[in-house]
Structure 1
Amino acid sequence: MATNAVPVIGFVGLGVMGGAMCRNMALKHAGEVIAFDTNPKAFEVLDGTQAQRVGTVAEVAARADVVFLSLPGGPQVEAVCLGPEGLSGGAHKPSVIVDLSTTTVASARQVGAKLATRGIAFADAPVARTREAAQRGELSIMVGADASLYGRIEPLLRYIATDVTHCGDVGCGQVVKLINNALVFENTVALAEMMVLGERAGVQSAVLLDAVSKGSGDSFVLRNHGRKAMLPRQFPEKSFPPEYALKDIGYVLELATQTGVSAHVTELAQRYYTATASKGWGGRYFPAVIEVIDRNIGPAQCATDAKA
């Protein structure tokens, strides 16, 4: 990617988050934006923009200077980056690949190292915040890259984010993103437990949230997941389900094992979301964990039964 020219942007993966991000890039970038997804309907999100649709990953590789990825996880990222029909498999290659997905730290570092041998710079740049934030171009992005590469891609990331943080070398973006997500999932379980406790002790949840939000117990989870999902008990499909939470928690626990950390709180959260996914709320928005707690069918009840 030439530093003194407008790069051609490629984008692979037009899902819930990726489609919104690609749309913002297509609306704001002065140069070409080309996009690929395996689902033909996914391109509808780009209607009204100058983005160009292509039929293969190889076409993206042949035309783009810098390629952004928004994919389900590490295996998909590895296949798109390193596979024979992927971005580095042909004669023409992009100079930079930026992965906006959430993967394991080990996967990010392995992909980065292998791409470096093929002359392609790599950054892991997982995104945080909601689908609505993605649509508004107000995401938070945590970047793992060397300082030189970060300086080159940071202006492009500003098309989709209001906050961009350089966290360190390749893999460090994933470290911060996974910790961020673990804190959200753990805080959601704790808030759900306290909302149920408050209700059974005679305090309405709306009153509880209002009061706690004015004190030191306030949090992003309280103001968003608590008020918007757990209070009305609305857990729509096609949002972030417990299965996705479990994927990220698994990544966190893998990293904890690799670094010698005993992540007991994260392990407890894993048990709660496993119960949420398997006992009636699979595919629903993950704050449905409050239903598991309210019905005493989660890990806490299992522990009680074990002592009986």
Structure 2
Amino acid sequence: MTLQTLGFIGLGVMGEPMCANLAAKSGARVLCHDLDAAPMRRLAERGAVPADSLRALAHEASVVFLCLASAQAAESVVEALAEAWQGSGGVRTVVDMGTTSVLATRRMAERLAQAGHRFVDAPVARMPAAAIAGTLSIMAGGTAEDVSALMPHFRCMGSDITHCGGTGAGQVVKILHNTVLFEAVQSLAEAMAVARAHGVDGAVLLDAIELGSADSRAARVQGREALLPRHYPEGRFATRYALKDVSLALELAQAVGLEAAMARETASTLRRTIDAGWGDRYYPALYELVSAAPPRDAAND
């Protein structure tokens, strides 16, 4: 039996450990490619095979996973893959594991379908630690047949895989999931700012929230790890990425005539946080914009 060859393009904070888990657990030969050579070198030590070019990866891989930072990058790579596969014979599959607009997702699916290939959107949720541990939540959109065929690979990277519906449904669910989280973190930030302004310790507030009906993962993770200590490290999910996702949610709402007032307010706060110099910091930095406390200097933090 011929060993299946997989490809993985986009080796950032999430993509690198996801590719490492795929190489370690899938039993397949895994080619990897990124514009930065450093993660390719690290992955070579963990069983993946660096590909010098996207075309070289496309020539060998029957399934290609993408984890890219923007819709523009994903569409550019999909176009390059479609061109590389032209006349090669056989059906290939592209799996977009980044967070991408639904319109771009459907354009990529249509482009590949016209060339006789398959497309699945499968964005992920949870922290970089979950990417390392292989315990991501994966939200897949595509045909039941295509998603089922990919399940063994998804289980190398995630512990919870949800088939959300047809093409684009994975992106809809992921975008809305993130937006609900960002809205919750803004709500927590506002509550903490008010509590502190009235002389109540933030830790006391979180203790009470966690004992009551308002308990949430946001309180126990973003609340404890970021809002309470006012700690917003680089390398975590940045404010500019949070704004991108909420903006995508607003596009979805606008398309069906919904106002989405909470998402609109959160987008405004994130935008002001970026303007204040916190764009590359962990997005709970929005606390610095809603807090009654004197703002901290992002440049010197």
TM-score (norm 1): 0.91
Q: Which residue of 1 aligns with 2:257?
A: 260
Which residue of 88, 99, 119 maps to 2:82? Answer: 88
Q: Which residue of 2 aligns with 1:49?
A: 46
> 1:293 deviation in Å?
1.0
After TM superposition, the structure 1 = structure 2 runs for residues 170-181 of structure 1, keeping only pairs within 5 Å, are: 170-181=167-178
Deviation digits for residues 5-39 of structure 1 (CA, Å, limit 9, x no counterpart): 65211000101000010000111121210011011
**SS of match in other structure, 1:280:** helix
Q: Which residue of 2 aligns with 1:202?
A: 199
Alpha carbons of structure 1 residues 295 and 45: separation in structure 2 relative to 1, 3 Å: farther
Q: Which residue of 2 aligns with 1:191?
A: 188
> 1:296 deviation in Å?
7.7
**SS of match in other structure, 2:277:** coil
For residues 111 and 285 of structure 2, the distance between their equivalents in structure 1, rounded to whole angstroms, comes to: 40
> 1:152 deviation in Å?
0.2
Q: Is 1:182 aligned with 2:201?
A: no
Alpha carbons of structure 1 residues 70 and 94: separation in structure 2 relative to 1, 3 Å: farther
For residues 281 and 196 of structure 1, the distance between their equivalents in structure 2, rounded to whole angstroms, comes to: 18
For residues 123 and 135 of structure 1, the distance between their equivalents in structure 2, rounded to whole angstroms, comes to: 22
Do 2:109 and 2:119's aligned partners in 1 also have CA atoms closer than 8 Å?
yes
Alpha carbons of structure 1 residues 297 and 142: separation in structure 2 relative to 1, 3 Å: farther
Q: Is 1:28 aligned with 2:25?
A: yes
Q: Which residue of 2 aligns with 1:303?
A: none
Q: Which residue of 1 aligns with 2:298?
A: none
For residues 211 and 174 of structure 2, the distance between their equivalents in structure 1, rounded to whole angstroms, comes to: 28
For residues 60 and 44 of structure 2, the distance between their equivalents in structure 1, rounded to whole angstroms, comes to: 21
Q: Is 1:131 aligned with 2:128?
A: yes
Do 1:68 and 1:100's aligned partners in 2 also have CA atoms closer than 8 Å?
yes
Q: Which residue of 1 aligns with 2:12?
A: 15
Do 2:33 and 2:52's aligned partners in 1 also have CA atoms closer than 8 Å?
yes
After TM superposition, the structure 1 = structure 2 runs for residues 1-308 of structure 1, keeping only pairs within 5 Å, are: 6-82=3-79, 86-90=80-84, 91=86, 92=88, 95-295=92-292
For residues 39 and 258 of structure 2, the distance between their equivalents in structure 1, rounded to whole angstroms, comes to: 40
For residues 74 and 280 of structure 2, the distance between their equivalents in structure 1, rounded to whole angstroms, comes to: 23
Deviation digits for residues 155-187 of structure 1 (CA, Å, limit 9, x no counterpart): 110000000000000100000000001001110
Q: Which residue of 2 aligns with 1:306?
A: none
Do 1:102 and 1:177's aligned partners in 2 also have CA atoms closer than 8 Å?
yes
Do 1:142 and 1:165's aligned partners in 2 also have CA atoms closer than 8 Å?
yes
Q: Which piece of structure 1 moves more, 204-213 or 273-282?
A: 273-282
> 1:48 deviation in Å?
2.8
Percent of aligned positions with the same letter in both sequences? 39
> 1:295 deviation in Å?
4.1
Q: Which residue of 1 aligns with 2:299?
A: none
Deviation digits for residues 259-286 of structure 1 (CA, Å, limit 9, x no counterpart): 2111111000011111111113221111
TM-score (norm 2): 0.93
For residues 120 and 195 of structure 2, the distance between their equivalents in structure 1, rounded to whole angstroms, comes to: 45
Q: Which piece of structure 1 moves more, 232-241 or 176-185?
A: 232-241
